Amino acid sequence: MSDYVQMWKELGMDLETHDALCQVLPTAFGDVYLSQENRPEGMGFWDFVVSEIHGIRPSELIEAQKKGQKVFGTFCVYVPDEVVIAANGIVTGLCAGSQFWVPGGEKVLPKSTCPLIKASVGARLDKTCPFFRIADMYVGETTCDGKKKAWEILGKDVPMYIMDMPQMKREQDVEKWADEIARFAKVVEDFTGVKITVESLNAAIKVINEKRKALARVFDCRKAEKLPISGKDALLMMQIAFFDDPVRCAQMCNKLADELEERIQNGVSVFPEGTKRILLTGTPLAIPNWKLHHIIETSGAAVVCEEMCTGTRYFENLVDETKTTLEDQYAALATRYMKTNCACFTPNTGRIDDILRMAKEYKVDGVIDVNLKFCCLYDTEGYTVEKALKDAGIPVLGIETDYTDSDAEQLKTRIGAFIEMLG
Ligand code: BJ8
């Protein structure tokens, strides 16, 4: 990635510290990804993106900025990309998934904050991630307490807008969310200088719906008896989907889905027959957090689905494309986004229904409920999730982890024993 040094300099990055990250990433990726056998050819695209992760997409974003487009950095799947795209803006995900950035976050946040928040704050304040430097505006949300307080710190360093999320899903809450989306649209219009129209919003809704459908096609292939793709590869596709151009993302996912569907027809599998099938549920796995998938898939099982924001929560449910006024379009967006089931809502029974449904659809042998350390929401909801699964006779293992490797051996032992028990 050395060709991008000048760009990183111009972004005001701390090059020395950033170099350390650039040195470890290729080895980590090689160990986890390139060691797999019989990968779909289509994964070559995502391998390439990772090999240039801090170069190729950032330089595209900078080119777009030169042409007058604004880049919005987001941290949550409830923030509607459609609104930004309708105003000729670009969205890039900013959730950070590496321990590398955590100490930077700990300089300003309590240690007892979830690693996703600490890493995201550290990546910005330590100036070691180009995406965090490029985004013209950050968009936060009032989901969990840790994030709410982190926005106050980030907001001192970068323009920040915070969307006020409902905490419940009654009719008046969905209406409130539609109002909040309309308010966000006004902020985006003012920031980009571009008026959102019914036509531009409808076109944006279609673009994001197409992306959702393409991601869903790949996930559908993971329901097959013979698995044409590993969980690790599917996770990588999901993680990059938060950064990539949505039209290209849909194209590449559709191309991958074509190949996977062909593999299914030809009975090609990347796992031996009888491999135990695991559904992962819980907190998101932001790039480059591949730890759990790697442990599970090197312990004799396969991850077949993620009921996570870096999984089904990102693409399930489409936005109604038939609305003809902005007001109705905002309402349609609110309806779709409020179908996503995050533990920040109370009650959140929809998530339990989703997990039980997916356990069937993906024919899973067991569920691993994963919680990022210090995420009180998912930790607490774990009780209800695990009870529902036990009641349904589905084996479940609850684990808590962070971005370090210090618990890797212990996790291997626990996950290995769980998989053996499934046999
Ligand atoms: S919709 S999961 S992306 S809020 S893991 S930062 S909740 S303390 S990431 Fe999330 Fe939106 Fe919900 Fe999804 Fe807080 Fe928990 Fe950390 Fe979390």
Give the CA distances from residue 210 to residues 201, 319, 332, in Å, rounded to whole numbers and listed in that order: 14, 10, 16
pLDDT (average), residues 193-202: 98
Q: Which of ligand 1's atoms lies nearest the C-alpha of 283? A: 5
What spacing in Å lies between the alpha carbon of 146 and ligand 1's midpoint? 9
What spacing in Å lies between the alpha carbon of 236 and ligand 1's midpoint? 19
Q: Is the pLDDT of residue 1 over 70?
A: no
pLDDT tens-digit map of 306-338: 999 999 999 999 999 999 999 999 999 999 999
Query: Is the shortest distance between the CB of 415 and ligand 1 below 6 Å?
Result: no
Cβ 355 vs Cβ 307: under 8 Å: yes
Cβ 362 vs Cβ 303: under 8 Å: no
Q: 370 pairs with which residues across the strands?
A: 282, 399
Q: Is the pLDDT of residue 2 over 80?
A: no
Cβ 199 vs Cβ 88: under 8 Å: no
pLDDT tens-digit map of 119-139: 999 999 999 999 999 999 999
Query: Is the shortest distance between the CB of 146 and ligand 1 below 6 Å?
Result: yes
Q: Which of ligand 1's atoms lies nearest the C-alpha of 309? A: 13
With residues binned 3-state (H G I as helix, E B as strand, rest as coil), the percentages for the chain, rounded to 5, are: 55, 10, 35
pLDDT tens-digit map of 135-190: 999 999 999 999 999 999 999 999 999 999 999 999 999 999 999 999 999 999 99
DSSP string over 38-65: S--GGGHHHHHHHHTTTTHHHHHHHHHH
pLDDT tens-digit map of 356-387: 999 999 999 999 999 999 999 999 999 999 99
- Top mutation candidate among 348, 372, 373 for ligand 1, by most atoms within 8 Å of CB: 372
What spacing in Å lies between the alpha carbon of 141 and ligand 1's midpoint? 10
Give the CA distances from residue 270 to residues 37, 38, 218, 229, in Å, rounded to whole numbers and listed in that order: 7, 6, 15, 6
- The contacts of residue 57 (CB under 8 Å, 6+ apart) are 49, 92, 131, 243, 244
pLDDT tens-digit map of 142-151: 999 999 999 9
Q: Which of ligand 1's atoms lies nearest the C-alpha of 371? A: 5
φ and ψ at residue 399, rounded to 5 degrees: -135, 155
pLDDT (average), residues 233-252: 98
Query: Is the shortest distance between the CB of 285 and ligand 1 below 6 Å?
Result: no
Distance CA 213, CA 119 (A): 30
What spacing in Å lies between the alpha carbon of 257 and ligand 1's midpoint? 28
Query: Is the shortest distance between the CB of 74 and ligand 1 below 6 Å?
Result: no
Kindly state the tokens that stand for 78: 């409830």
What spacing in Å lies between the alpha carbon of 166 and ligand 1's midpoint? 14
What spacing in Å lies between the alpha carbon of 216 and ligand 1's midpoint? 22
Q: How far is CA 130 from the centre of its chain?
A: 18
pTM for the model: 0.97
Predicted pLDDT at 400? 98
pLDDT (average), residues 17-34: 94
Q: Is the pLDDT of residue 246 over 70?
A: yes
What spacing in Å lies between the alpha carbon of 45 and ligand 1's midpoint? 28
Residue with the smallest CA separation from ligand 1 atom 3 is: 76
DSSP code, position 33: I
Cβ 62 vs Cβ 133: under 8 Å: no
Cβ 200 vs Cβ 246: under 8 Å: no
